[in-house]
Amino acid sequence: MSAPSAPLLSVRDLHVDFKVRGDGWLLPAKRTLKAVNGVSFDLYPGETLGIVGESGCGKSTLARALLNLIPATSGQIVWMGRDMAAAGAADWQQVRRSVQMVFQDPLASLNPRMNVSQIVGEPLRTHQPQLSGVEVLARVKAMLVRVGLSEAHLYRYPHEFSGGQCQRIGIARALVLQPRLIVCDEPVSALDVSIQAQIINLLKDLQQEMQLALVFIAHDLAVVKHVSQRVLVMYLGRTMELAGKQALYADPKHPYTRALLSAVPLADPRRERAKMIQMLSGDLPSPIAPPSGCVFRTRCPQAFDRCAVEVPPLKAVGPQSQAACWLY
């Protein structure tokens, strides 16, 4: 996809730190957990950026920081040309009309005491109080049909639906304000594989129909492949690789991306047998005490002396690829 000139969202050197209490004896009283550590990217109208990494790599924190649900410690978020650094609560409220979120656990993200009509209508009542009850109901009904539900579901409660249907309700709630961007935080990881495909196809159809941009977060490169034009690979809060989809899947540059990709099964059994497996050894290090230098070095099969000393910067390693690795 050729990118238009003005990004919808620009993120520069974003940091999100959390203060963590020690035990005051062996561990220092206060330590800093760098959940997001210097992430930068642009997102263009109608584009999907996939964000991938293991649990604990900071991708969900990044998603919440984009909407100021968790405040950023430093860095810049520019939304439709407007720097949000000095934005107050009212400004963020305005932005949230255009940026909505779909959450991982569809049932937990819906209020069990509200019926579908109330859940999907709530953003309209909050952000467009001038609408009459009849107008809200008409918009809710239309939205339900667009996500594959029907008027018959209007007055039912979340516990009466399957996981896939609950996620459709969550998507309807996110889309009812006709936003420009949806941040999807692992929207299919709690669903069965067959339902995952339905929800991904629904998101893709709605994206085309409504010219939506998506930030699509997953821990699985196979899931992200079907929706994204570009993919950002995160590890311990840092960007390891940022690349166009074709470049990333055909020629991954970063050793971490290669390891993640080698875990994705191939449909062709001959290619699957011939594939070089690069399993990730060891566990993800604690984000409170990340390794020095390159944060991936304790699990990297190609690590060498420099990797323990200096942090590799993210730099261009191909026409569509950037990677943070001293091999380049």
Q: In the set 32, 302, 309, 313, which binds ligand SF4 (CB under 6 A)?
A: 302
For position 166 contacting ligand SF4 by CB under 6 A, the verdict is: no
Cα radius of gyration (the chain): 21
Rounded CA gap, 269 and 102, in Å?
35
Interface with ligand SF4, residue 303, by CB under 6 A: yes
The verdict on 326 binding ligand SF4 (CB under 6 A) reads yes
Residue 323 β-bridge partners:
241, 315
The pairing of strands 238-244 and 230-235 is: antiparallel
Q: What CA–CA distance (Å, rounded) separates 242 from 230?
A: 7
- When asked if residue 255 is in the footprint of ligand SF4 (CB under 6 A), the reply is yes
Is residue 297 close enough to count as binding ligand SF4 by CB under 6 A?
yes
Does position 74 bind ligand SF4 by CB under 6 A?
no
Single out the segment in contact with ligand SF4 by CB under 6 A; choices: 103-111, 155-163, 176-184, 299-307: 299-307
Using rule CB under 6 A, residue 296 touches ligand SF4 = yes
The C-alpha atoms of residue 199 and residue 186 are separated, in whole angstroms, by 12
CB contact at 8 A, 240 and 54: no
Residue 307 touches ligand SF4, criterion: CB under 6 A: yes
Of 70, 80, 280, 327, the one binding ligand SF4 (CB under 6 A) is 327
Helix (H) or strand (E) run with residue 240 in it: strand 238-244
Nearer to ligand SF4, 180 or 254 (CB): 254
Q: How far is the CB of 274 from ligand SF4 (least distance, A)?
A: 24
Residues 9-48 that bind ligand SF4 (CB under 6 A): none
Identify the CA nearest to 221 among candidates 37, 80, 53, 79: 53
Task: Give me the least distance between CB of 279 and ligand SF4, in Å please.
Answer: 15
For residue 29, CA distances in Å to 22, 25, 107 come to: 4, 8, 38
CB of 220 to ligand SF4, least distance (A): 21
* Minimum CB distance to ligand SF4 smaller for 119 or for 300: 300
**259 interacts with ligand SF4 by CB under 6 A:** no
Q: 26 CB contacts (<8 Å, ≥6 apart)? A: none
Is residue 90 left, alpha or beta, with left meaning phi > 0 and alpha meaning psi from -120 to 50?
Answer: alpha
Tokens of 252: 């991954």
Nearer to ligand SF4, 161 or 326 (CB): 326
Q: Is 312 in the site for ligand SF4 (CB under 6 A)?
A: yes
Shortest Å, Cβ 252 to ligand SF4 = 12
Residues binding ligand SF4: what is the number (CB under 6 A)? 12
Dihedrals phi, psi of 204, to nearest 5 degrees: -65, -45
Judged by CB under 6 A, does residue 325 bind ligand SF4?
yes
Provide the residue type at 1 as one letter: M
8: contact with ligand SF4 by CB under 6 A: no
Output phi, psi for 15, to 5 deg.
-125, 135
Nearer to ligand SF4, 201 or 281 (CB): 281
Quick check: helix, strand or coil at residue 152?
A: helix
Determine the 3-state secondary structure of 139 from DSSP. Answer: helix
List the structure tokens of 269.
């059994």
Does residue 246 touch ligand SF4 according to CB under 6 A? no
Q: From the list 300, 314, 317, 321, which residue makes contact with ligand SF4 (rule: CB under 6 A)?
A: 300
Residue 314 in the binding site for ligand SF4 (CB under 6 A): no
Binding site for ligand SF4 (CB under 6 A): 255, 294, 296-297, 300, 302-303, 307, 312, 325-327
